[in-house]
Structure formats: C-alpha cells, structure tokens
Amino acid sequence: MRQVRRNRAVTGTALGVLSLLLATGCSSEDPAVDRDEVGEQSSEVLEEQYGGNIDVACDEDLPAEVGATIRCEVTGTGATYGATVTVTSVDGNDARWDIEVDDEPME
C-alpha cells in the first residue's frame, strides 16, 4: 500500500503483515467475522501504525477458520491497493488475522 504523508511514501513492503484480534460475535453454526468489522478493525490498526486516513473495505465475511482468506481493498491517499486477510488462529469467539497489503496499486 502506498500512503503519502509529509512527502514520504510508505509502500506495502514496508507495511508487511499486521496481526489483529477481534471477537467473531457470530453463531457457532457458521462462525465468521463480519466484513464491516474486519474492515473497521484493519483500518484502525493501519491508521495507528502508519498515520493518515486509511479505509479497508471487504466484500465478504471472514470465516473464523484458521487459514481462511478473503481479499479486501485498502484506500489511502489517492490510491487503492488489494490486501489479503488470513485467519491465523481461532480461540472460542476470538479470531486473529493478518492483513498483507499488495506492493502495487490496483489498476
């Protein structure tokens, strides 16, 4: 992801992979983290980590299952990047995931 701030660019490579923890808040029949929650929590962590206004939008819920992945879009200052969200652990109603932002912007 490229975010320009104070005339400095931060790329996806610099962002690396960030881990997040969120309660799934779902039924045991089909446990998943709501797509809006994934986006909001991921946005908050990216903003805290790197500053600026960063929006993460996901089109689907994240299954609360280790190894499950979804693709999201990360929008910073003027560019949109793809990102892969991967569940790394699930403990009861808590799911931990990583978000890895692509190096190149979407076309």
Q: What is the pLDDT of residue 65?
A: 93
Residue 70: what pLDDT? Answer: 97
What local confidence, expressed as pLDDT, does residue 48 receive? 86
Number of domains in the chain: 1
pLDDT at 21: 52
Residues 55-87 have pLDDT tens digits of 999 999 999 999 999 999 999 878 899 999 999
Q: Give tens-digit pLDDT for 7-60.
A: 222 333 334 455 555 555 554 567 899 999 999 999 988 888 878 899 999 999
Domain that holds residue 64: 3-105
Instruction: 8-17: list long-range contacts, CB under 8 Å, 24+ apart.
Output: 10/50, 11/103, 12/81, 12/100, 12/101, 12/102, 12/103, 12/104, 13/103, 15/46, 15/49, 15/50, 15/100, 15/101, 16/100, 17/98, 17/99, 17/100
